[in-house]
Amino acid sequence: MAARFLKLEDVQEVLNISSQQAYSLVRSGDLPAIQVGGRGIWRVEASELEAYIQRQYDAAKAKATEDA
């Protein structure tokens, strides 16, 4: 069974971005996440990551058609 929640390190790997960029996506609200445990470690639901990726594709497509 695939993990429901991903660590920010997993998000970094999937998106091929830095830890600062992943943290910024979460803090800005662009990538919904929750804080878990006493230390408040961030976790991103896998479905939210997929939805974020789809939104990025949609935005790129809209920009491409706008520029054409």
Q: For position 40, what pLDDT does the model report?
A: 85
Q: How far apart are CA 20 and CA 1, in angstroms?
A: 29
Q: For position 45, what pLDDT does the model report?
A: 97
Q: What is the pTM of this model?
A: 0.88
Whether the pLDDT of residue 68 is over 90: the answer is no
User: How do residues 10-67 score in pLDDT, each as one tens digit?
Assistant: 999 999 999 999 999 999 999 999 999 888 899 999 999 999 999 999 999 999 988 7
Q: For position 67, what pLDDT does the model report?
A: 78
Q: How far apart are CA 57 and CA 12, in angstroms?
A: 18
